[in-house]
Structures are given as C-alpha cells and as structure tokens.
Amino acid sequence: MKLFDKYFQPYAEYCLRTTFSEDELKTVFEKELPHVFSFATFKAGFEANKFTFFRRSKPFHLYPGITGRNSLRGELAIQCEKAEYSNDTILHITIVPQNISLFCWIYLCFAVMMGILLLCVGSWQAVIPLGMSVFFFVFLALCRSAAENEIPQIRQAFENTLRKFEEKYRDKTIEFPQDENQTKKINFFRIAPLLTVPIVLVLIFDPASTLSLRNFLENIAGTIFFIDFPIGMCLLHYYYPQFFRHRKSGHYSLLPWGIFFLLCWGLVALGMFLETQFGRYPENGFSVVCAYLFGWAYIWFAMIPIGLIYLLFRGIQKLWQKRREKVEK
C-alpha cells in the first residue's frame, strides 16, 4: 500500500439519470459553466449564497466552489453510460480529492533530508523538519475529514444544477459547437512575408546592424528568436489547434509547448557555444551558466506579452461571434 493512498481515495461514488445525451451534456456544460481559469470564475466568487461548478480542461471534470472560498475540496469526475431501456443517460459520478501525492512525496523527502543534514552537523534544529513531517500527515487527515462533511452539499448542489439545465433546455434544440480541431485555411506565402517585417524594421532602425557582419547576423537571429518564434506559435495555435491536443482523447496537450521551449533552449545553448568557440567569451561566467541551464526560459520575455495580445484577440473574436449569433437569431 502506498504511503499517501488513503488520503486520496474517492470520497463518494453514486449515479444520476439525466435526459441529456453525452454530447448534449458536454455542450450544455461548455455553454453554462465557466472555465476554472476565466473572469467569470472570479466574478462568481462574489455571488451570495450560491454553489458554482467550473469546467476543467478534461471533459466531464467539474470543480465545485462556494461563496467566500476559492473551492470545495472535492472534484466531480463524470462518466456517461446510455440507459438500456430508455433515452436517458446514466451518470457515474465520483467525487475525488485533488491528487497531490507527488507534492507530498517531494515535501516529505525534502523534510527528511533537511532533518538528516541537521542531525549530521549536530544541530538541535533537526527536530523542526521532522516535526513538520508529522504535522503534514495530521494536516492531510484533517483536510479529508473536513471534505467528507462537504460531500452532501456537493451532491445536492450538482443535482440541482443538472435539473435546472434540464428544465432550461427541455423545449430547446441544443446546437453543437463546430469542431475546434478543424483546420483553418492558411496561405503560407501570405504569412511568411509578415514574419520578415520585424527583421526589416530592426535592421533599419538599428544603425549598429550595418557596422559588422556579426551585428547583422545577431540582429536577425535575435529578431527571429524573440519575435517570429512567439508569433509563429500563436499563428500555429490559431490555424492548427489540433496540434495542441491529444490525438485520441482530444484533451489539451503540453507536448508542443515542451518541444518549443526545448528548441529555444537548444538555440540559446548553441549560440553561447559558438560564441565561446570563436573566442568571444562573455564578461562573466554567470552568463554562460544562465544560457546553459535557463536558456529555455529566455523566450518567456517575449512569449508572455505576445501571448497576452493573442489571448485578448481570441477573447474579442469569441465575443463578436456570440454577438453575431444573437443578432442572427
């Protein structure tokens, strides 16, 4: 038996019936429930005496919240099954805690290592990390006990929310959203010239770029790295969203971003290696260490502002589409 298994076992398992099909229920959740990372989530926290369920990135995983708290301790994981003798759908609901066993292991190992290290140097302070390890298990037990008291509230609130949705859509046709993974048409020969504009502007407005071949190549490489790479990732996400999802499950995948940052780290490390090979050493060794160890993070200086602009554009676009749909209706 694993050390932390008993703290992360499901709180409750039960079934509910609904008139929605699996696809309809997913569409209703996407329309009615805010995502856990959204402004609507922040706004819902100030509504008085109300339970709110938030969507997670995984389908049919809901995050319950209540006024005055960021969340409740249980999460709902739902599996749908078609009823055998009716058009209803049976929902197999499991209320589970957030599985932070990896964090628990890291914390426990760190505390034990610190205690052993302090014991080796003969310090009485070794009892502090060891005592904190004991307190950590007590804290996990108290959290689970408190969560078990919240389960009846979560069950009742979810059933009320589900029945409210059934009443709202009883006489309405549920419109299914278009496939997000559908590839938008893009002409590479129209996009490629746009990516050369930043390079041309840098070369024009930076007089030092014409002083030597090294400055010229460094400006081009820096512009491609800090401007064209982030813009290219945003364009790839916009026109080819299927690259950012698992092929089978359809869930959002971090693999493309991992490859992107690994590529960026490789370019930074390669650039520093070439500089040192040609005898152009930096002023201090700290720059070399940062390039080799943290080169993957350099791209964040440009990716964050460009990514925020891209997210703002997508948000405005979605609001405009919703407004057009209301006008057309």
Q: Is residue 159 part of a domain?
A: yes
Q: Computed from CA positions of residues 132, 137, 138, 143, in that sequence, does the dihedral angle turn out positive or negative?
A: positive
Decide: 273 and 287 in contact? Cβ < 8 Å.
no
Q: Is residue 121 part of a domain?
A: no
DSSP structure class, residue 63 = E
Walk along the chain (329 residues) and give the pLDDT tens digit of each residue.
477 777 888 888 999 999 888 888 888 888 888 777 665 666 655 655 567 788 877 778 888 877 655 456 678 889 888 888 888 889 999 988 877 777 888 888 888 888 888 888 777 777 888 888 888 888 888 888 888 888 888 888 889 888 998 888 887 777 665 544 444 455 556 666 777 777 777 777 777 777 777 777 777 878 888 888 888 888 888 877 777 776 655 566 777 888 888 888 888 878 777 777 766 656 556 666 677 777 777 888 888 898 899 889 888 888 887 777 777 65
Q: Based on the domain organization, do 92 and 194 belong to the same domain?
A: no
Structure tokens, 307: 């990514």
Q: Is residue 114 part of a domain?
A: no
Q: Based on the domain organization, do 157 and 233 belong to the same domain?
A: no
- Which domain does 302 fall in, by range? 188-328
Q: Is residue 140 part of a domain?
A: no
Q: Among residues 137, 153, 141, 136, which one has the least CA distance to residue 76?
A: 153
Q: Among residues 308, 73, 23, 3, which one has the least CA distance to residue 174?
A: 23
> In total, how many domains does the chain have?
2
Q: Is residue 139 part of a domain?
A: no
Which pLDDT score is estimated for 191?
67
Q: Is residue 138 part of a domain?
A: no
Q: Based on the domain organization, do 215 and 321 belong to the same domain?
A: yes
Q: Based on the domain organization, do 164 and 261 belong to the same domain?
A: no
Angstrom distance (rounded) from CA 157 to CA 152: 8
Q: Based on the domain organization, do 154 and 237 belong to the same domain?
A: no
Q: Based on the domain organization, do 164 and 218 belong to the same domain?
A: no
Q: Based on the domain organization, do 33 and 160 belong to the same domain?
A: yes
Q: Give how far Cα 12 sits from Cα of 8, 149, 270, Å.
A: 12, 11, 53
Which pLDDT score is estimated for 181?
43
Q: Based on the domain organization, do 74 and 220 belong to the same domain?
A: no
Q: Is residue 233 part of a domain?
A: yes
pTM of the model: 0.54
Q: Residue 174's Cα: distance from chain center in Å?
A: 28
Q: Based on the domain organization, do 155 and 207 belong to the same domain?
A: no
Q: Is residue 122 part of a domain?
A: no
Q: Based on the domain organization, do 12 and 160 belong to the same domain?
A: yes
Q: Based on the domain organization, do 193 and 159 belong to the same domain?
A: no
Q: Based on the domain organization, do 34 and 77 belong to the same domain?
A: yes
Which pLDDT score is estimated for 92?
92
